Every structure is written in C-alpha cells, then in structure tokens.
C-alpha cells in the first residue's frame, strides 16, 4: 500500500478550490490519504465544510485523519469531527481503522518536551494537568495500537513523538511541539511508520529509538523542501521494514 500524507492544511472559509489540486494528486499517487491535524485554521464548522468540498477531489480514496490544536481553537472540534466523519473521513482520536489489511491508529497528542527536558508533573496544578493530558493522549495511542492485529500499522499524530523531526524550530518552543511520552507506545507496540505535523520549520524525517521511521508531513515544510511539486509525503509501506515486537 502507498500512503499519501500531509498535515497543517489550515483550511479557511476562503480556501475553495485551493486544496483540490493537492488532494487530487495525493489520490492519484496512493491508496490511502492521511491527514495529520490542523485540518482547519480556526476550528470552525464552516471551515470543515469547505475542507469536505476540497476532499471531493480525492475521488473516493479512503481518508484517515486526526485533529490538531488549530481544530480546537473555537470550541467546535466535535462539530468539525462530525462534519468530516459524515463525509466519510475516518477521524481518529484513540480509535483505529483497517483499510486493505493495514491498520491505522491515531491521536492528536500534546506537548511537554523530550527526553531529560520533558515537563514533569510537579508544582502548580496547571502543569500537572498538562502532563496528565499528554499521558492520557499516550495511553489512548497505546490502547489503539494494542487493538490492531494487522501485519502493518501506521500511527498518526499531530504532535511529534520524537525530537529529531522538530529540529529546526527554535529550541525554546520544543516543549510545545511534542513529547517523548508519545514515543513510549510506539516502542511497546510494533508500527511500520509514524506521521505527524505541527512543526512547520522542523525536519522531514527521523526515527524512534526502535528505528521506526517518523515523517513530519507539515505542508509548509514540504512546500519548502520540494518547491514546484505537490506538497505531500508518499510512503510505500511495502518498502519499509516490517514492524518488530519490542522486548
């Protein structure tokens, strides 16, 4: 299976026609489209309706998505999810779906930082709540991966699970771009690959500690990396190493 992935489309109410060429190109190149969050710009239902119209250019190709932080901005995330779901998009939030024998598990994720610099649940309640929310997102991902029995599994997030793909951003904002806690489920359960967005100035790819490829599919980053080409990442799962059970 070939997967065409992009994140951070930031669809607005004035985006009519702007994204259709991208989605048409993705559909022509792959069997499944993956959208890694920040699908809308302000998280408005009207923006989601525009996006649904843009996605008609995908010509019926299955679409799997997660929401991003922008999709929560206006308090209409549930409506955004419903509008996309009614149009046939698999919007995952601790959920899974299986397409042509490949399993997909997805969560939004959250920040907190990486490795020794990760935020700890100590001090003010607001800090403890943020860490708890990140842990909850990681647990949702773990639960989803545990339910998949397919030979190949794709994990979809908005926030990064590793530091390597946010390198290039200002180090001061690393804690707001992802969390090592999101990597833990990827080490406990075998996945073939991981995609995320959010880090507009990050790096295109990196690897988990288990040597699983992680792709930053943020649209502005892809546009800068390959100007003149449709900004999406094409991942041929047949060319990736099969997932290996972690000990």
For residue 211, being part of any structural domain is answered with yes
Q: What is the dihedral of CA 135, 136, 138, 139, to 10 degrees?
A: 120
What sign does the dihedral 147-90-224-235 (CA atoms) show?
A: positive
Which domain CATH number covers 159? 3.60.21.10
- For the chain, what is the domain count? 1
The per-residue pLDDT of the chain, averaged, comes to: 95
pLDDT recorded at residue 119: 86
Average pLDDT over residues 117-144: 93
| Residue-range definition of the domain harbouring residue 45 | 2-239
For residue 247, being part of any structural domain is answered with no
Average pLDDT over residues 65-86: 98
Average pLDDT over residues 94-120: 94
The pLDDT confidence band at residue 242, using thresholds 50, 70 and 90, is low
| Least confident segment among 19-23, 83-87, 117-121, 136-140 | 117-121
Secondary structure E strands in the chain? 2-6, 32-36, 63-66, 90-91, 95-99, 102-106, 152-156, 193-196, 205-207, 213-216, 233-236
Query: pLDDT tens digits for 3-58?
Result: 999 999 999 999 999 999 999 999 999 999 999 999 999 999 999 999 999 999 99
pLDDT recorded at residue 245: 55
Query: pLDDT tens digits for 205-236?
Result: 999 999 999 999 999 999 999 898 999 999 99
pLDDT recorded at residue 247: 38
Average pLDDT over residues 61-80: 98
For residue 245, being part of any structural domain is answered with no
Among all chains, which residue has been given the structure tokens 């040597």?
Answer: 211
Quote the distance between the C-alpha of residue 235 and its chain's center: 14
For residue 244, being part of any structural domain is answered with no
pLDDT recorded at residue 240: 84
For residue 72, being part of any structural domain is answered with yes
Counting beta carbons within 10 angstroms of the beta carbon of residue 63, is it exposed (0 to 12), middle (13 to 18) or buried (19 or more)?
A: buried
pLDDT recorded at residue 59: 87
């Amino acid at each position: 299976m070939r997967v065409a992935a992009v994140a951070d489309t930031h669809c607005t109410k004035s985006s009519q026609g702007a994204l259709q060429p991208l989605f048409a190109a993705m559909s022509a190149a792959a069997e499944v489209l993956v959208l890694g969050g920040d699908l809308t710009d302000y998280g408005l239902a009207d923006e989601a309706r525009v996006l649904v119209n843009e996605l008609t250019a995908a010509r019926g190709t299955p679409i799997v998505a997660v929401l991003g932080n922008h999709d929560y901005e206006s308090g209409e995330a549930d409506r955004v999810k419903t509008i996309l779901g009614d149009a046939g998009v698999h919007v995952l939030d601790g959920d899974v779906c299986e397409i042509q024998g490949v399993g997909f598990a997805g969560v939004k994720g959250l920040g907190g930082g990486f490795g020794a610099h990760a935020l700890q649940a100590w001090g003010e309640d607001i800090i403890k709540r943020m860490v708890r929310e990140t842990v909850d997102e990681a647990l949702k991902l773990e639960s989803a991966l545990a339910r998949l029995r397919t030979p190949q599994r794709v994990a979809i997030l908005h926030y990064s699970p590793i530091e390597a793909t946010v390198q290039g951003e200002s180090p001061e904002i690393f804690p707001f771009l992802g969390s090592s806690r999101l990597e833990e489920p990827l080490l406990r359960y075998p996945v073939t690959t991981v995609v995320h967005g959010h880090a507009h100035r990050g790096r295109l790819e990196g690897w988990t500690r288990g040597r699983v490829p992680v792709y930053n599919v943020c649209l502005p980053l892809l546009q800068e990396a390959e100007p003149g080409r449709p900004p999406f990442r094409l991942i041929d799962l047949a060319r990736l190493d099969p997932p290996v059970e972690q000990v």
